[in-house]
Amino acid sequence: MSWLLLSFLIVAGAQPDWSPTLCVLASSVGYAIFWKGMLLAPKKRSRFSLALIWFASIQVVQLSWFFSDRYVGYYIYGVVGLLALGLGVQFAFLSLFIRKSMRLGNMLALCGAWALFEWIRLHFLSGYTWNPSGLALSATLPGMQLASLVGIFGMGFWVFFTNLVALKCLTKFSWLAFARFGVIALAPYIYGSAVIAFHGYQMEQEKRSLSALVVQPARYPEEKISIAGSTPPPPSSLWRDIFSLLTPYLGTEHQLILAPEAVVPYGAFSPIYSKEGAARLFESYFDVMPETPSSDVGNAFFAQALADRFEADVIIGLEDGAYNAAFLFRPGQTSINRYEKRILVPMGEYIPFKWCKKILSKYGILDSFTPGKEAKVFEAAGLLTGISICYEETYGHLMRESHKKGAALLVNLTNDVWYPRSRLPLVHFYHGRLRAVEAGIPLIRACNTGVTCGVDSLGRTVAFLPYETSREPSEPGILELDLPLYSLSTPYTLWGDWPVLALSIVFLIVSPSRRKYLDLSSLTVFCLRKN
């Protein structure tokens, strides 16, 4: 029992925002300690039950931010319970194949199966991208660099492999086995340290940077839309807050201004403001009367006026009809670029079943958005820029599409306020930071209450604003950012997840115990073809 309890404390606490130390331990020996205790159970049924309960309980602990149910309702408890149970079944199934003494081929086959499981649930449980096992490696800057080589699924493969080698060392100790484990456990950190040393020096020599202003409004949903009978203030008051934040920066030179997802309600072009009133409102803050159109105006009018007044490109999140979108406004130009969010949040941005409508209407969700169809790269501040909205940045392959189209900068517009006073802002940030490392290009995050920040191409946080936590609410503010633009070519950008997936299938097929893995390998190949 002590083995099981110790392993639970290590792995459950292995979240980058909780404990880097536990993350290092979990990615090297945490799972091995559990398997050591599990193997003491004499029957397969007992081992399966232990593995299921252990891993499902860990998921509940790590996903505890879901339980901030102020806006999502009590149904979320059932969703998390079912999700944790399903993940527990996956882990328990693979744990049945673990033995005290395993050949290298069998170990690699199990690691491949785990990597494929994580990949499959990303694509077939499209609302769930959280908690890949490789995330534990991202708690340290050197460990995080492995993402540039093999992506998040390759990191999960390595975590599983390291723990299987550790298990062999725990069950039959020898100095040779210990040395072998030490080399494997330290390999990601040695690789990462070399990457940081080389490219960190190159970055210092280049000294090319982007100057940006990033808006953090810190507004709750009832301040923008009607929820459970609330009466939100007029949207013009939201613009007044944004103008007040930006006014001190008049006269400064910045290339880019960013504002988060759905920063104001009623869409981009709905004519909700009188043309004269909108022009006077803008003039009262910026001493310039913008060109007045012939009819009433929408939120796009203010975004374009900001671009013209600051002589900077503006990237802002606004709804546009059936789309949750991001817009690029450029000084003195009438053409507008729009990116449509491709991955919609279940029960938040699309309603999967008719019976859900009554429940969701209480929270201001009346209909579904339409998903976008493709990655788009826009030229902003002289850079090709790939844009993502909300938790799209937790999908490595989506961000890779932007880089493959030439993006030299990633921009994420996020609104994490739907789980208030929870860990979500930090959890989201740690996933997003990996995208900069995978792609080898810098990232700017504009968040409503989350981690508004700049991240360089090595995953280092350049600057950030205070974000919402369980103890402190988020505060409105402007992040004045000078972001290094150094980029590096990464193997992940070139090849994506396919080398890890292909090797995983090969390891399953050629395993010394391939008969045991035949059904599993056939299933994964079928899923890959279907996707």
Q: What is the dihedral of CA 431, 263, 486, 192, to 10 degrees?
A: -10
Per-residue confidence (pLDDT) for residue 530, from 0 to 100: 47
The answer to which of 221-230, 299-308, 387-396 has the lowest mean pLDDT is 221-230
Element containing residue 275 per DSSP (H, E):
helix 275-286
- Greatest mean pLDDT among 75-84, 283-292, 457-466: 457-466
**Tens of pLDDT along 448-488?**
999 999 999 999 999 999 999 888 889 999 999 999 999 99
Per-residue confidence (pLDDT) for residue 476, from 0 to 100: 96
**Tens of pLDDT along 182-210?**
999 999 999 999 999 999 999 999 889 99
Kindly tell me if the per-residue pLDDT of 384 is higher than 60.
yes
Counting Cβ atoms within 10 Å, is residue 481 exposed (0-12), middle (13-18) or buried (19+)? buried
The two structure tokens encoding residue 267: 């869409």
Mean pLDDT over 51-73 rounds to 92
Per-residue confidence (pLDDT) for residue 93, from 0 to 100: 94
What percentage of residues in the chain have a pLDDT greater than 90?
72
d(CA 514, CA 511): 5
DSSP assignment letter at 392: G
Give helix 44-62 / helix 31-38 axis angle, nearest 10°.
Answer: 150
pLDDT band, very low/low/confident/very high, at 414 (cuts 50, 70, 90): very high
Per-residue confidence (pLDDT) for residue 353, from 0 to 100: 45
By residue count, the chain amounts to 531
**Tens of pLDDT along 303-333?**
999 999 999 999 999 998 888 999 999 999 8
Mean pLDDT over 438-445 rounds to 96
Active site residues: 261, 341, 390
Per-residue confidence (pLDDT) for residue 514, from 0 to 100: 56
SS (H, E, C) 419-479: CCCCCHHHHHHHHHHHHHHHHCCCEEEEECCCCCEEECCCCCEEEECCCCCCCCCCCCEEE
Long-range contacts of 301-309 (CB under 8 A, 24+ apart): 301/273, 302/239, 302/278, 303/259, 303/268, 303/327, 303/329, 304/329, 304/336, 306/246, 306/257, 307/257, 307/331, 308/332, 309/250, 309/282
The two structure tokens encoding residue 442: 């810098």
Residue 350 bridge partners (DSSP): 346
Per-residue confidence (pLDDT) for residue 25, from 0 to 100: 97
**Closest by CA position to 372, among listed 352, 392, 357, 354:** 392
pLDDT band, very low/low/confident/very high, at 526 (cuts 50, 70, 90): very low
Kindly tell me if the per-residue pLDDT of 519 is higher than 60.
no
The contacts of residue 152 (CB under 8 Å, 6+ apart) are: 118, 132, 134, 135, 396, 434, 438
d(CA 23, CA 13): 8
The two structure tokens encoding residue 248: 């001190």
**Closest by CA position to 173, among listed 97, 108, 98, 100:** 100
**Tens of pLDDT along 37-50?**
999 998 999 999 99
Strands 377-380 and 409-414, sheet pairing:
unpaired
Kindly tell me if the per-residue pLDDT of 172 is higher than 50.
yes
Alpha helix positions (H), 39-174: 44-62, 75-95, 104-124, 141-144, 147-171
Q: Which residue has the tokens 């374009």?
A: 304
Angle of CA points 92, 95, 98, to nearest 5°: 165
Per-residue confidence (pLDDT) for residue 69, from 0 to 100: 81
**Tens of pLDDT along 141-157?**
999 999 999 999 999 99
Per-residue confidence (pLDDT) for residue 225, from 0 to 100: 80
**Closest by CA position to 480, among listed 209, 97, 237:** 209
Tell me what percent of the chain is helix, strand and coil, each rounded to the nearest 5.
50, 15, 35
The contacts of residue 309 (CB under 8 Å, 6+ apart) are: 250, 282, 286, 288, 290
Mean pLDDT of the chain: 89
Sheet bearing 443-447, strands edge to edge: 377-380, 383-389, 409-414, 443-447, 453-455, 461-464
Per-residue confidence (pLDDT) for residue 2, from 0 to 100: 86
**Tens of pLDDT along 115-129?**
999 998 887 755 688
Range(s) of the chain covered by CATH 3.60.110.10? 208-493
d(CA 439, CA 113): 25
Mean pLDDT over 517-529 rounds to 47
Higher pLDDT, 292 or 456: 456
Q: Taking the model in full, what pTM does it have?
A: 0.90
**Tens of pLDDT along 80-89?**
999 999 999 9
Which CATH superfamily groups domain 208-493? Carbon-nitrogen hydrolase (3.60.110.10)
